[in-house]
Amino acid sequence: MIIPVILSGGSGTRLWPLSRAQYPKQLLPLAGEQTMLQETVTRVEGIADTGPVFCVCNEDHRFMVAEQLRQVTDDLGDIILEPIGRNTAPAAAVAALRIQEKFPGATMLLLPADHVIQNSDAFAEAVALGKKAAENDELVTFGIIPDAPETGYGYIKASVDEGSAGSVCPVEAFVEKPDRETAEKYLTSGEYFWNSGMFLFKALKYLEELEQYNSEMLNACKHALEKAAADLDFLRLDKEVFTACPSDSIDYAVMEKTTNAAVVPLDAGWSDVGAWSALWGVKERDEGGNVTKGDVLMHDVKDSFIHASSRMVAVVGIDDHVIVETSDAVLVASKDRVQDVKQIVERLKCEGRDEAVMHVRVNRPWGSYETIDREDRFLVKRIIVKPGSSLSLQKHYHRAEHWIVVKGTARITVGDEEVILREDQSTYIPLGTKHRLENPGKIPLELIEVQTGSYLGEDDIERFDDKYGRSTVSANGQLASGKK
């Protein structure tokens, strides 16, 4: 049996401003109608003899990940929450330990959540080929047959007769990202493949290899899993133990050291969508070579990527550019400089700006909220609560709130009273009063919230009860969490 393991811990900073720390690229529908996470799960459904899907993700993304997974699969295993990212080797180890416990002897297919594979049938055939090698205790990786002298990827050198799919080849070496001249030699030789970061091996075999090459990491993962706590539908790793775990990739920790590494050449329209130029490369283009989404008007524009999220974007007389518009940020970059977008993100982080972390619209397990207007002593938000969902029972120390229902039905607790409000009705939440908002209806509840007070920060909240198990926080406490 093959157990798919989806790694969904990345932040995708080079796809800013669409991808942000609290809403990274794997949770966005960038290449198609489904999100990249959902496309990854859908892809493995075409592989024979697969078991439940496991996922390792950042705890901050847990509710979005869970919701997206449930939309595309009924066969869901563990959703394992990392309190902090420690790279791919520990994530794979924790998943392997859990799989070996539940499905002894199973083979695990380890896949990043943010890759594009256009030919799912070719991918399934490569996995079937790799499974035979994995069952013989080989640690299999998938090498992308290169079609260009790419300097942005690491390479795998293999013992091959020719660079074609249909065979399992011993790995001779893993090679770091080359310069242009070296990459051209790799392409000509037919012995080198792009390192995809996808793996197939027995869970037990990976653990044995990790024990040999980095026992400290394996022991930390075992300990973090032993002390893990069930949290609703999630398995939350122990924060103190996992934070102390060594951080390393599967390549460095195991694959470059083992004598059992093998590579399956893969030609399936693969991309890691590591930059806007890569997304332009995998999307359908018009007769001018342009990729557009949203309300875009162009005149004399060629070979460009233009994405409009919230308003009309007009572009005149440019070639080879990327323009991405969101409600709070606009990116304009030459297509050959899009890798430098990460420098903008770093600057935003250094300046403590929200644009690096979240969108104007913020997702929560109960729905979402969007900031409409803000000044020193007031804040206006649009709140959407999903049917059957509720916010925590809470209070604020520095602000009062006014709620106006614009769509649906709201059940509102204010102090010891409970009221039902419908469209065009409103209520007032005094400062320091316990309150809760619920949607008892069958359609989304939409309301406008007007906050007034001396401090309008997201950490001015104390929770008394929360169906999603989130921590109690307050402006006077030590923990900080999200809104509501």
Question: What does each of the 484 residues of the chain score in pLDDT, given as a tens digit?
Answer: 999 999 998 877 899 999 999 899 999 999 999 999 999 999 999 899 999 999 999 988 999 999 999 999 999 999 999 999 999 999 999 999 999 999 999 999 999 999 999 999 999 999 999 999 999 999 999 999 999 999 889 999 998 764 455 689 999 999 999 999 999 999 999 899 999 999 999 999 999 999 999 999 999 999 999 999 998 889 999 999 999 999 999 999 999 999 999 999 999 999 999 999 999 999 999 999 999 999 999 999 999 999 999 999 999 999 999 999 999 999 999 999 999 999 999 999 999 998 999 888 888 899 999 999 989 999 999 999 999 999 999 999 999 999 999 999 999 999 999 999 999 999 999 999 999 999 999 999 999 999 999 999 888 999 999 988 776 544 444 343 444 5
Q: Determine the pLDDT at residue 480.
A: 37
pTM equals 0.87
Task: Measure the N-to-C terminal CA separation of the chain; round to a whole number of Å.
Answer: 42
Domains and CATH numbers, the chain: 2-271 (3.90.550.10), 285-341 (no CATH), 361-465 (2.60.120.10)
Q: Determine the pLDDT at residue 165.
A: 55
Q: Give the tokens for residue 281.
A: 């490369």
**Complete edge-to-edge strand list for the sheet that includes strand 330-334:** 291-293, 305-308, 321-325, 330-334
CA dihedral 262, 267, 272, 274 (to 10 degrees): 120
CA gap 475, 477 in Å, rounded: 6
